Amino acid sequence: GQQVMQIPQYQHVQEGEDFTTYCNSSTTLSNIQWYKQRPGGHPVFLIQLVKSGEVKKQKRLTFQFGEAKKNSSLHITATQTTDVGTYFCAVNNNDMRFGAGTRLTVKP
Amino acid sequence: GAGVSQSPRYKVAKRGQDVALRCDPISGHVSLFWYQQALGQGPEFLTYFQNEAQLDKSGLPSDRFFAERPEGSVSTLKIQRTQQEDSAVYLCASSPTSGSFNEQFFGPGTRLTVL
C-alpha cells in the first residue's frame, strides 16, 4: 500500500508559537485526511483534502494539499495548550495508511 | 448520539491464550475498520468490512488474527494463541459510507497486554 512519511516526529513549542507538520508521499494521492489524537485518547477526524492545491482553514488550523497531490501540511497558528496531541495524516486505497504522527507538546 | 464503543477497554492475557475484542459501531454505519496501534506509532490497518462482507484483510499480521461482522453491525476481532508482540491498542472505526474515503469515527480502543 501507499506509504506516507510524516515530519517532524516531535515538536515542542512555547505557547503562542506556530507549529507545522508535513506529510509526504512518493506517489500521487487521491485524497488525504488529518486526525488528532490526544494523549490517552483515540484519533479524531479533523479534515479531508481532495483537490490539488486545496487550502482549508479551521480557526487557527490551516490545511494544505500540494499541487502535485503528493504532500500535505497542517499549520497551527499561535498554539495553545489545548493543541497538545499527536497529529496524523492518513491516505487511503480502500485500506487506510497512517503516517507515524507528529507529537506536539506546548509549554505554557 | 452514541459513538463507537469497544469492549473490554483493557485486557491482560497470558501468552498462548485466545482473546476476543468487540466493537459496536455507530448504528447504520456501513464501513468498519480495525487497526492496531503500538505505543508511539500510528494506527496500522488490519481489516475492513463493508456491511457483513470482509473486503480487505491484508493487514492481519498472521493467521492467528480473525475478524468477523456476521450481521453487518457488531464486529469481533479474535486473536488466537496470543504472543507478546500482540500487545497494543486495538482500535475500531466506522464510517457511514462504503470505502475509507470519508471521515472515520474511532472507538476508545482496547488495550491488550500479553504477559
Verify whether the Cβ–Cβ distance B103 to A33 is below 8 Å: yes
Task: Establish if B106 touches chain A: CB-CB under 8 angstroms.
Answer: yes
| End-to-end CA separation in angstroms for chain B | 37
Q: Which residues of A touch B106 (CB under 8 A)?
A: 42-44
Closest CA to A92 of A5, A24, A37, A31: A31
Cis (ω within 30 of 0) for the bond into A8? yes
Question: Given a cut of 60, is residue A2 above it in pLDDT?
Answer: no
Spatial distance between the Cα atoms of A75 and A66, rounded to a whole number of angstroms: 14
Q: Which residues of B touch A56 (CB under 8 A)?
A: none
Q: What is the mean pLDDT of residues B1-18?
A: 95
pLDDT tens track for B36-61: 999 989 999 999 999 999 999 999 99
Average confidence score pLDDT of chain A: 94
pLDDT above 90: residue B102: no
Closest alpha carbon to A99 in B45, B65, B86: B45
In Å, how far is B111's CA from the nearest CA of chain A? 11
Q: For residue B21, with 0-12 CB atoms within 10 Å meaning exposed, 13-18 middle and 19 or more buried, which class applies?
A: buried
Cell 472505526 identifies what position?
A: B93
Give dist(CA A40, CA A37) in Å, integer: 8
- Percent of chain B's residues with pLDDT above 90: 91
Tens digit of pLDDT for each residue in A16-68? 999 999 999 988 999 999 999 999 999 999 999 999 999 999 999 999 999 99
Residue A24 β-bridge partners: A5, A71
- With H, G, I as helix, E, B as strand and everything else as coil, classify residue B97: coil
Contact A99 B99 (CB under 8 A): no
Nearest CA in chain B to A41: B108
Mutate to test the interface with A, among B103, B105, B110, B111 (most CBs of A within 10 A): B103
Q: Is the pLDDT of residue A8 over 60?
A: yes
Per-residue model confidence (pLDDT) at position B1: 57
Residue of B nearest to A100 (CA): B42
Residues of A in contact with B3 (CB under 8 A): none
pLDDT band at B2 (very low <50, low <70, confident <90, very high): confident
- Which percentage of chain A shows pLDDT scores above 70? 96
Of the candidates A52, A62, A50, A51, the residue with the CA atom closest to the CA atom of residue A22: A62
Three-class DSSP category at B58: coil
Minimum-distance CB partner of A48 among B93, B103, B107: B103
Nearest to B10 by CA among B19, A57, B63: B19
